[in-house]
Amino acid sequence: MSGSVEVHVVTPEREVWAGQAETVIARGVDGEVGILTGHAPMMVQLAIGPLRIQAEGQPEIAAVIDGGFMHVSSAADRDEARPADRGEAGANATRVDVLATGAELAGDIDLEAARARAAELQERLQDHDTHLAEAEIASLRSELKKALARISLAS
């Protein structure tokens, strides 16, 4: 299927990336999902992990996502144009909105800072005292996953 997907990657603080792409691949909590033009509408809960965007004739754009949601919609679902005004391509226009808790493009990742953060978190988890609550341990593990995702993507 030819055509492009309109993509918006946003966090509560800013728009991280927006543009047209051929494919979008994200890691959901149930596994990876790939989006092409004409994809069925869906909502995916995102896991901590990579987001890959491939635009025609461009290098792959990669980002790390710290969880959130990905919403896939079509022009027909968004009711952006009256049916008489939409050609076949317009009727299949696909939009992907990545609503991320946090996101960082691969080129913006400070690899040394991510490595230092991961080492600090691993040390805290290994040396944790029994006085740490389960919620705090879970939070440390989540932060470690974020640091390791950044290291993996930037390496």
What percentage of the chain carries pLDDT values higher than 70?
Answer: 86
Under the banding of pLDDT at 50, 70 and 90, the label for residue 125 is confident
At residue 42 the predicted structure's pLDDT band, cuts being 50, 70 and 90, is very high
Which pTM value belongs to this model? 0.84
Token output for 127: 């040396």
**Is the pLDDT at 1 greater than 50, yes or no?**
no
The model's pLDDT over 62-121, given as tens digits with 9 standing for 90+, comes to 999 999 999 999 877 755 444 544 444 455 589 999 999 999 999 999 999 999 999 999
30-49 mean pLDDT: 96
Q: Which fold has domain 5-108?
A: ATP Synthase; domain 1 (2.60.15)
Phi, psi dihedrals of residue 5, rounded to the nearest 5° = -110, 130
Listed in sequence order, the residues at least 6 apart from 110 whose beta carbon sits closer than 8 Å to its beta carbon are none
Listed in sequence order, the residues at least 6 apart from 45 whose beta carbon sits closer than 8 Å to its beta carbon are: 28, 29, 67, 68, 69
82 or 7, greater pLDDT: 7
Sign, CA dihedral 25-47-107-154, equals negative
Beta pairing class for 5-10 and 94-100: parallel
